[in-house]
């Protein structure tokens, strides 16, 4: 790791091509699985609201390869504080997300607002701050973990689908804006995965046919491994359970 780029843990040996990867929603589920995989070869900033949960994830990581940054992505003040703590970011993994399911005729506006703030507006605020420096360096990656609900109609997911579809539209357009600057923008569109975003009853009934967080993490690792490829870009990958959507 180059000390002129990263001031933390610089005395510890890391691979010469180690990257600084910021992962939101790193405290559980897909984010935790991604963190465990990527921290083996890179330096990861684990971002989330729950410090204790982040510390639990960190017990599985090499001691010199991570740091914990608490942030509530729904709060602009908290996001701005996060941004002041970040040095050069090579890869931003937008993974934090919530889902509140319910019939559109009864779902409160506040629920839609929470989901759109968490799943779309918060990430966009972070990306807006990071994308300029990446373009100036002619190198960087924005990787967004999205949902098949962005493109597939399911009942009871109106606000969730809106937040995910909006994020997908944003990254698809941004990809065209920044590709000539050497920046990669990747969408990993994920089907039903056995994480806490599902109710206990749904997991009990369907976990045997869901993806695991580890499945998604391995796909993300494969994409991260293409970071230095100057000639090609993985734009979108869709991962569904073998038996399809629930």
The catalytic residues are 160
Contacts of 178 (CB under 8 A, 6+ apart): 131, 134, 135, 185
DSSP 231: S
DSSP-based three-state secondary structure for 3: coil
Mutual angle of helices 122-137 and 76-84, in 10-degree steps? 30
For residue 233, give the nearest of 190, 193, 191, 174 by alpha carbon.
Answer: 174
Locate 105 and state its tokens.
């005729």
Tell me the backbone φ, ψ of residue 209, rounded to 5 degrees. Answer: -115, 5
Binning the chain into helix, strand and coil, the percentages to the nearest 5 are 45, 15, 40
Mutual angle of helices 29-38 and 213-224, in 10-degree steps? 40
Residue with tokens 């698809």: 172
């Amino acid at each position: 790791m180059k000390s002129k780029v990263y001031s933390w843990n610089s005395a510890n040996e890391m691979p010469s091509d180690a990257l600084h990867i910021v992962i939101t929603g790193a405290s559980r589920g897909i984010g935790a699985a991604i963190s465990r995989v990527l921290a083996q070869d890179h330096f990861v900033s684990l971002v989330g609201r729950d410090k204790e949960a982040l510390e639990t994830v960190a017990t599985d990581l090499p001691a010199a390869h991570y740091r914990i940054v608490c942030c509530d992505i729904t709060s602009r003040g908290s996001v701005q504080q996060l941004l002041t703590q970040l040095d050069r970011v090579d890869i931003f993994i937008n993974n934090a997300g919530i889902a509140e399911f319910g019939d559109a005729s009864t779902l409160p506006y506040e629920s839609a607002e929470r989901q759109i703030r968490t799943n779309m507006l918060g990430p966009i605020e972070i990306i807006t701050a990071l994308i300029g420096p990446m373009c100036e360096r002619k190198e960087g990656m924005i990787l967004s973990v999205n949902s098949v609900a962005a493109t597939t109609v399911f009942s009871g997911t109106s606000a969730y689908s809106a937040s995910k579809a909006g994020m997908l539209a944003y990254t698809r357009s941004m990809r065209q804006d920044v590709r000539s600057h050497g920046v990669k923008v990747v969408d990993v569109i994920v089907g039903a995965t056995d994480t806490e975003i599902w109710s206990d009853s749904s997991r009990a009934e369907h976990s045997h046919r869901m993806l695991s967080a580890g499945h998604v993490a391995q796909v993300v690792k494969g994409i991260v491994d293409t970071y230095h490829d100057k000639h090609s870009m993985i734009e979108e990958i869709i991962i569904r359970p073998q038996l399809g959507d629930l």
